[in-house]
Amino acid sequence: MNKSRLRSIYSIPYTAWILLFVLAPIALIVYYSFFDLAGNFTLANYRNFFTSVYLKLTISSFWYAFLITLFSLLIAYPTAYLITKTKHKQLWLLLIIIPSWINLLLKTYAFIGLMGLYGPLNAFLEAVGIGKQQILFTDFSFVFVSVYIFIPFMILPIFNALDKLNPALIDASRDLGADSWTTFRRVIWPLTTNGVKSGIQVVFIPALSLFMITRLIAGNKIITLGTAIEQQFLVTQNWGMGSTIAVFLIVFMFIIMLVTKGKEKGASDNGKAR
């Protein structure tokens, strides 16, 4: 029918976008991963990836991403919970979100000053009596800054899940004699796991691939999968190896998405009366 033809004509730009910028790039990455520097077809990149250097890099990258996600969650969950209890919760949430809209680079740059040898953090340490420490270019500074960057992204989905929670369920649990820990463990947490899962998803995947924070804060000491890709593409110009690492990063990404995928329906409704 003419109607459906019209429909397919106007959706051309969008379809073209999917083909050109979603499917083609992934295909190109896979394609390039089979070529070496000289342009010969080879599996050497994959063999390379399974050598100790790259395996170690992958494991340490996962370890840092795990730490970053864990600390973000530990800080974000109580924060989100407490915000839902405040009077003007939307306003407080907005105040949490504003810093996430400040340019990422600027926030990272601030920490170069804050954590520097003559920065306020070291001045504080000296005043307390611990004395000057090298804070920049350590594991601590890297994890701290990353957590700082990611906290708003973790708070948001958890806040939404908590906010949807029907307060009657909590009252019911209290009335039935559960103490607050039991209420949290048996009622609140299970009903907000979807929020937590999407929070983990939005933190863990980027944390695996950070390269700007590692360069500025960790000073090339920490190499994540992202740093390695950037290095291969822009410094060494070895696109084949870079693509191979990227292929693995994509695979990890899909695995993480599958693991953290929430149930489509049901659980997210949380029984709130409409």
Partner 1 sequence: MERLGKLPKLYLAIVFIILYAPIFYLIFYSFNSGGGMSNFEEFTWEHYAAVFEDKRLIIIVLNTIIIALLSALLSTTIGVIGALAIYFMRNKKMRNAVLSLNNILMVSPDVIIGASFLILFTMIGVKLGFASVLISHIAFSIPIVVIMVLPKLSEMNTSLIDAALDLGASRKDVMTRVILPFIKPGIFAGFFLALTYSLDDFAVTFFVTGNGFSTLSVEIYSMARTGISLTINALSGLIFIVTVALVIGYYAINRKTKMPLTGVKK
Q: Which residue has the tokens 């001045």?
A: 123
Give CA–CA dist 71/35, Å, rounded: 39
Classify 234 as helix, strand or coil. Answer: helix
Closer of 43 and 123 to partner 1 (Cβ)? 123
Output the smallest distance, CB 187 to partner 1, in A.
16
CB of 186 to partner 1, least distance (A): 20
Structure tokens at 128: 């307390």
Q: Is the Cβ of residue 55 or residue 123 nearer to partner 1 in the bound state? A: 123
Binding positions for partner 1, 171-210, rule CB under 8 A: 201, 205-206, 208-209
CB of 92 to partner 1, least distance (A): 8
Residues 71-130 touching partner 1, rule: CB under 8 A, are: 75, 78-79, 82-83, 85-87, 92, 94-99, 101-114, 116, 118-120, 123
How far apart are CB 62 and partner 1 at their closest, in Å?
A: 14
Stretch that binds partner 1, among 53-61, 125-133, 187-195, 243-251 (CB under 8 A): 243-251
Q: How far is the CB of 52 from partner 1 (least distance, A)?
A: 23
Name the 3-class secondary structure at 178.
coil
* Token pair listed for 113: 């000053």
Least gap, CB of 83 to partner 1 (angstroms): 7
Instruction: Collect all residues with Cβ–Cβ distance below 8 Å to 196 and sequence separation of at least 6.
Output: 73, 77, 157, 158, 161
Q: Are 33 and 244 in contact (CB under 8 A)?
A: yes
**Which residue is associated with the tokens 């390695």?**
228
| Minimum distance, C-beta of residue 131 to partner 1, in the bound complex (Å) | 17
Interface with partner 1 in residues 22-61 (CB under 8 A): 22-26, 28-29, 32
Nearest to 223 by CA among 208, 240, 206, 239: 208
| Closest to 155 (Cα-Cα) out of 198, 109, 210, 111 | 198
User: Using CA atoms, how far apart are residues 31 and 213, in angstroms rounded to an integer?
Assistant: 29
Q: Which stretch binds partner 1 (CB under 8 A): 135-143, 173-181, 184-192, 211-219?
A: 211-219
Please pick, from the candidates 211, 238, 262, 268, the single residue that binds partner 1 as defined by CB under 8 A.
Answer: 211
DSSP alpha helix (H) spans, the chain:
2-10, 12-17, 24-32, 44-49, 52-85, 89-101, 104-114, 120-128, 139-164, 167-175, 180-183, 189-209, 212-216, 225-230, 239-259
Backbone angles phi, psi at 220, to 5 degrees: 65, 0
| 159 contributes a contact to partner 1 by CB under 8 A | no
**By C-beta, is 152 or 199 nearer to partner 1?**
152
| Binding piece for partner 1, criterion CB under 8 A, among 7-15, 38-46, 54-62, 184-192 | 7-15
Footprint on residues 128-147 left by partner 1 (CB under 8 A): none
Q: Report the nearest approach of partner 1 to the CB of residue 196 (Å).
A: 17
Q: Residue 36: what residue type?
A: D
